[in-house]
Structure 1
Amino acid sequence: MSLRLTMIGVMLLGISLSIGISTWLSTHDSEQQIEELFDAQMLQSAKMLELFYGAQPKDHRENLVDHPLLLEITPAKYETFHQDANAESLAYEQKLAFQIWNPKGQLLVRSANSLPSPMTEFEVGYREITMGHRLWHLYTYYSKATDVWIITGQRNDVRQELVDQIMGNSVLGPAIIFPLVALLMIFLSYWLFEPVQELARRLLQRSPADLTPIHMKLPSELVPVRDAMNGYIERIGDAMVRERKFSGDAAHELKTPLAIIKLHHQGLEQTNDPQELQLHHAAIDKGIVQIAHTIEQLLLLSRVDSLTGLNVGLESPEQLINEVLNDLLPIIEPYDWQLDFAPALKARGDGFYLKLVFKNIIENACKYSQGHSPISIRTWAATDEQMAVIQVLDSGPGLNEQDCLQIKERFFRAAGEKVSGSGLGLSICAQIVELHHGRLDIQPGTPRGLDVRVYLPLAQPKSKA
C-alpha cells in the first residue's frame, strides 16, 4: 500500500466532505433565510396594499365593487436572472400577484396574472397552492382599518432561482479550486517524500561491506528511522566482527589438534615399535576427544548466540545442581563435595540452559582440582540485590585477578595452563546468565582455587491473600 496515495486520498476525501457538508449547510440555511425574507416581503406587500387602498376616496372604493381595478403587467425580456438584466427587463413582476376582496367576497383589485376568483380561502396565514401549473406561495391578510381581505402571492421559482444561484456559486468555487488543490497536494507529496526516496537510493548504492553510519539531513519525522538504521548497521558490524573472530579462533583451536593427529598418524606409518605405536594411538585419541569437545562447545555457542527467548519459570538451584551432579556421577565421585543449599530458594530462569551453566562450572571445578580435594557448592539469597547466588569453589591452582577478568572471553586460555580445553565453556556460561538478566562473577578463591558465582534474578514470594 502506498503511503503517498493513501495520504492524498484521505486528504482529498476530507476536503470533499468538508466542501460538501459546508455547501449543504449553507444551502439549507440560505433556503430558510430566503423563505423568511420572501414571506416577510409578502406581508409587507399586503400592508402596502392596505395603505394604498385606505388612501383612496370612499366613493372611489365603493365604485371598485362594480368595476374592479386590474393591474396590467408588461411583458419582460428575461424570464430568469440574467447578468445583463435589470428590474424593468426581468419577468420578476410577472411572478408576483395580489388580490383585494371585501368581506362579501366581491373582488376590488387584482393583478393581471392572478385569478378572477379568490386564490385561497379568507383565513389569515401562509399557504402554498398550484396555479397555472406553477407552485405559488400565498399570504392572506385581513385589514381591520379598511375591512378588506388582501391576498399576496409569489411564484416558487423566484425563491428557487436565488437558492440555485447561491448553491451554484457555492459549488462553482470549490469545483475550480479542488483540481488545483489536488495537483498541489500531489506535488507536495512528491516533494515531501523526496528524502525517503533519497534515503532508499543511498541504501541501494551501498556495497555489502559498507557498514558506515548514514549521515544525511532528514525531516524530524525520519530522524528516528535513520538513527534506528544506524543502530542496526552498527549491530550488524559488531556481529560480523564477532563472527570473523569466532571463525578465526575456531580455526586456530581446531588446527592444533588436527596437526597433532596428522603428526602421530605419520608416526604410525613409520614405526613398528609397540610402545611407540601405543604412544601414537593415545595421542590421536586425545586429539580426537579435544576436537569433539571443541566442536560440541562451538555448536552450543552457536545455539546460544542465536537464542532470542527463554522459557523462564521458577527454578530451584538446589534441584538443578543435584540433577547435574547425578548426570556427572562418574566424574564427581573422586572429590569431597561440600553442599550448603539455602532452603526453598527459587530463581527465575530457564531450567534447561541453567543446567548447562552449572554443568560447565562443575566440570571445570573437577578438571582443575586434585582427586579427594574439597569442592564446595553454596546457595543463598542476596536480598539487597534481589538475586539468588550460586557459588562453586574448587581447590585447583586458581587464576590471578587479571586472568579472572579475561576468562569469560571466547577461546581465552591462561598462560601455562596444562589442562586441555576449548576456552569456550565460561564464555557460554556468561552469555546464558546475561540472557537471564544475571551475571557471572569469577575471582581467585580463598585461600586457593577459583571462586565462581552465578547471580540470577530472585523469584518474588507470592503475596498472601
Structure 2
Amino acid sequence: MKLWSLRRSLVIGINLAVIAVLAITAWASYRDILHELDEVFDAQLAQTAKSLAAFYTPSPETQPAPQRIPISNYYDTGEEESANERGPSGHKYESKIGYHIYNSEGKLLALTNQLQILPLKNLKPGYHTLENDAQTWFIFSYFSKSRGIWVRTFQRQDVRSELSGYLATEQLYPLLLMWVPISLIILFIVYLVLKPVNRFATHLRARALNNLSPIESDLPKELIPIKQAINKLLHQIKMFSEREKRFIADASHELRTPLSAIQVHAENIIHAESLEDSKQSGKAIFSAVERMSHLVNQLLRLNRLDSLDKSTDFSDIELKTLVSAAINSLPTNRVENYQWQVDVPTTKIACNETLIISALTNLLSNAMKFSPADSTIQIEAVDTSASIIIKIRDQGSGVPAEIIEQMGERFYRFREHTNIAGSGLGLSITSKIIQLHHGKLSFNNIQPSGFEVQIELPNSD
C-alpha cells in the first residue's frame, strides 16, 4: 500500500481537524441560539396572553357567536420569498400565530380568524404542544382570576424553524470564510515545518558516494534520531568498507611472497638439469602452497570474525571442558613433547564454545611453538567475583618489552621469529575473539625466562 507524503497527511489531517472544530463550534452556537430563541418566543406567548387578559373587554352575554379578530390577507404558502408577504393588511405570518379567549365555563369568546379553529378548550395553565393536521403548535394557556377568563396564545413550529434555518445558514458563511484563510495558513506552516526535512534530503542526495562521514546538519529535535540512525548506518558501512579494503590489501600483500616463490621454483623445475634439483624445487613449491593455504584460511577466518558482532549467541560452558578441548585439538605428536600443568576450576563461563576453543588453541600452539622441547606449559584459571582470569605460561625466551604493545596486530611478527612457521594472524584472531566476548587480552614476560598470556573474561554469574 502506497503511503501518503507527510505534507499531504499533515495538510489534510489538520484541515479536517479544523473543519471538525469549526463545525462543532457552529453547531453548539446554533443550538444555544435556538434555545435562546425558544425562550424569547415562549416569553412572548406568555406576555401576549397576560396583556390580552388585562385589556380584553368581554362581549355582552347576548352575543350569539365568538368575536373573530381579522388577520392578514396574505396567506403563507411556504415560499421563501414572496412579493405579497406583507402589506397594509398585515403580514403572512399572522396565519401562524393567534389566540383564543374563553370564559370560566369554557365558552369561546374571541379568537383570531385562522382557517381552522384549534382544539384548545380544556388545556391546563402553562405551556403545551399540539399536533394538528401535520403541524406542530406551541401553546401558552393563562387564566385570569380577576377577569374570570382563559387566554390561550399559540404559534406554529415553522415560524421558529424558519428563523433557526436562517441562523444556521448565517453560521455556515463564517465557517466557510474562516476555513479558506486557515487552510492557507496551515499549508504555509506545514511548508515551514517540513523545510528542514527537505533540506536534509537535499543534503543527502548531494553527498558523494564515497563520502561516509557523519552528517552534521542542524535538524529539529524530532529528526535527530533519524540523523543518529543514518550516521550509525554510515559508520557501519565505513567499517565494512575499510574491512574489505584491509582484507584485500592484506591478502595481496601476504600472498605475493608465496606466489613469487612458486613462480621461481616452477621455472627452476622447467630448467632443472637433474631430478634432484626438480625435487628440491617441488618441495619448495609444496611448502609455499601449504603456507599460502594456511594464510588464506587465516584471512578468511579473521574476515568472518570481523563480520560478527557482540550479540553472538553465548552459552554457559565449564572452563575445564574448554581447556581440555583446546589441548585435544593440538597435534598429539607435538603435545607429547611438553610437560603440561593444568589448574582450572569447573567454573562455567558464558561464551561461544567454538570461538573460545579456537582462541585457546591458538595461544597453546604459540606456547609450544616458541618453547623448547620438554619444557613446561602452565594453564591456570582464577575465578574472581567479577571475572575469570586464564593464564597460559611457557618457558620460551619471551619478547622485548617495547614490542609487547604491538602483539596482536595483523601480520606483525618479531623478527627473531621469522624462521618459525606462521602468518602473524593467530594473535589477531585470538584478540578479536576475546573482544567479542567482552574480555581483555594481555601479555607479560616472566623472569628469568618465559612468557605469559592472560585472558580476562566476564563472570557469567
Q: CA deviation at 1:65?
A: 5.4
2:312 is aligned with 1:316: no
Query: How far apart, in 1, do the equivalents of 2:80 and 2:179 lie?
Result: 27
Query: How far apart, in 2, do the equivalents of 1:191 and 1:456 lie?
Result: 54
What is residue 441 of structure 2 aligned with on the other side?
440
Contact kept, 8 Å, 1:80 with 1:161, in 2: the verdict is no
Q: CA separation of 1:346/1:446 partners in 2, compared to 1, >3 Å: closer, same or farther?
A: farther
What is residue 329 of structure 2 aligned with on the other side?
327
2:404 is aligned with 1:401: no
Contact kept, 8 Å, 1:379 with 1:389, in 2: the verdict is yes
What is residue 192 of structure 1 aligned with on the other side?
193
User: C-alpha root-mean-square deviation of aligned residues, in Å?
Assistant: 3.1
Q: CA deviation at 1:81?
A: 8.5
2:14 is aligned with 1:4: no
Query: How far apart, in 1, do the equivalents of 2:284 and 2:367 lie?
Result: 24
Query: How far apart, in 2, do the equivalents of 1:202 and 1:458 lie?
Result: 47
Contact kept, 8 Å, 1:134 with 1:156, in 2: the verdict is yes
What is residue 176 of structure 1 aligned with on the other side?
177
CA deviation digits over 1:354-374, x for unaligned, max 9?
122112222222222222111
Q: CA separation of 1:36/1:147 partners in 2, compared to 1, >3 Å: closer, same or farther?
A: same
Q: 2:16 aligns with which of 13, 18, 29?
A: 13
Q: CA deviation at 1:68?
A: 3.4
Give the total of aligned pairs: 452
Query: How far apart, in 2, do the equivalents of 1:401 and 1:94 lie?
Result: 118
Contact kept, 8 Å, 1:379 with 1:391, in 2: the verdict is yes
What is residue 463 of structure 1 aligned with on the other side?
none
Which shifted more, 148-157 or 414-423? Answer: 414-423
What is residue 140 of structure 2 aligned with on the other side?
139
Which one-letter code corresponds to 1:14 in the other structure?
Answer: A
Q: CA deviation at 1:153?
A: 0.4
Q: CA deviation at 1:156?
A: 0.5
Which one-letter code corresponds to 1:172 in the other structure?
Answer: Y
Query: How far apart, in 2, do the equivalents of 1:64 and 1:17 lie?
Result: 66
Contact kept, 8 Å, 1:393 with 1:451, in 2: the verdict is yes
Query: How far apart, in 2, do the equivalents of 1:87 and 1:279 lie?
Result: 135
What is residue 347 of structure 1 aligned with on the other side?
349
CA deviation digits over 1:265-305, x for unaligned, max 9?
22233334555444333322221221111111111111111
Which one-letter code corresponds to 2:384 in the other structure?
Answer: A
Matches within 5 A, 1:60-459: 60-62=58-60, 66=64, 68-75=66-73, 91-113=92-114, 115-116=116-117, 118-119=119-120, 121-131=122-132, 133-273=134-274, 276-308=277-309, 309-330=311-332, 331-342=334-345, 344-383=346-385, 386-418=386-418, 419-459=420-460
Contact kept, 8 Å, 2:382 with 2:390, in 1: the verdict is yes
Q: CA deviation at 1:263?
A: 2.0
Query: How far apart, in 2, do the equivalents of 1:122 and 1:213 lie?
Result: 87
Contact kept, 8 Å, 1:75 with 1:91, in 2: the verdict is yes
2:25 is aligned with 1:22: yes
Query: How far apart, in 1, do the equivalents of 2:47 and 2:277 lie?
Result: 136
Q: Under a length normalisation based on structure 1, what TM-score does the superposition of the two structures give?
A: 0.86
Q: CA separation of 1:67/1:260 partners in 2, compared to 1, >3 Å: closer, same or farther?
A: same
Query: How far apart, in 1, do the equivalents of 2:94 and 2:449 lie?
Result: 122
SS of 2:105's partner is: coil
Q: CA separation of 1:116/1:204 partners in 2, compared to 1, >3 Å: closer, same or farther?
A: closer
CA deviation digits over 1:59-111, x for unaligned, max 9?
x55459546333323356997888x9999975444432111101222122222
SS of 2:127's partner is: strand
Which shifted more, 422-431 or 25-34? Answer: 25-34
Contact kept, 8 Å, 2:23 with 2:175, in 1: the verdict is no
Structure 1 unaligned residues grouped into runs of 5+: 461-465
Query: How far apart, in 2, do the equivalents of 1:457 and 1:126 lie?
Result: 89
Query: How far apart, in 1, do the equivalents of 2:362 and 2:437 lie?
Result: 17
Q: CA deviation at 1:166?
A: 2.7
Query: How far apart, in 1, do the equivalents of 2:223 and 2:118 lie?
Result: 80
Which one-letter code corresponds to 1:219 in the other structure?
Answer: P
Q: CA deviation at 1:375?
A: 0.9
Q: CA deviation at 1:382?
A: 2.6
Query: How far apart, in 1, do the equivalents of 2:349 and 2:70 lie?
Result: 108
Which one-letter code corresponds to 1:287 in the other structure?
Answer: A
Contact kept, 8 Å, 1:304 with 1:431, in 2: the verdict is yes
SS of 1:354's partner is: helix
